[in-house]
Amino acid sequence: QVQLVESGGGLVQAGDSLRLSCAASGRTFGAYAMAWFRQAPGKERENVAAIRWNGGSTHYGNTFYADSVKGRFTISRDDAKNTVYLQMNSLKPEDTARYYCAASSTWPVISPEYWGQGTQVTVSS
């Protein structure tokens, strides 16, 4: 069982930066791929970024980013702290959404088994 709690969201202006954190509890955190999803009103939930579990690489790569955030967002993890981060730079109004942390036993991430409650990110113009 993995429990996830997000934090770090807030209201910022376009061009600003935020760092989201996801604190995980569970004995096997390091064995899961971690991901950040987001969902805006009227839109489907989308996978923004993901990072594979430690211990190797595949032909799929070790990280994933949606085209809309490549070059601006960076996902990272610290398994010793049971924490995953999403560094968001050069934020745009279209980044406004509720961001969810998720844990997945598969790579690439398709349907994560565990979800956090989400944290709201609002970017004003």
Distance CA 85, CA 31 (A): 16
Average confidence score pLDDT of the chain? 93
Q: Evaluate whether 34 touches 106 at the Cβ level (below 8 Å).
A: no
Residue-level pLDDT at 103: 95
pLDDT greater than 90 at residue 10: yes
- Residue-wise pLDDT for 50-70, tens only, equals 999 876 667 778 999 999 999
Distance, CA of 105 to CA of 124 (rounded, Å): 35
Q: What share of the chain is helix, strand, coil (3-state, %, to 5)?
A: 5, 50, 45
CB count within 10 Å of CB 101 equals: 28
In this predicted structure, the answer to whether residue 29 has a pLDDT above a threshold of 80 is no
- Residue 19 CB partners (closer than 8 Å, separation 6+): 8, 85, 86, 87, 88
Chain position carrying tokens 């961001």: 99
pLDDT at 94: 97
Taking only the tens place, the pLDDT of each residue in 70-99 is 999 999 998 888 899 999 999 999 999 999
Asked if the bond preceding 108 is cis, omega within 30° of 0, the reply is yes
Which residue, among 37, 33, 119, 47, has the nearest Cα to 79 in the 3D structure? Answer: 33
Q: Which residue type does 68 have?
A: S
* Greater model confidence, 32 or 17: 17
Task: Inform me whether the pLDDT recorded for 27 exceeds 80.
Answer: no
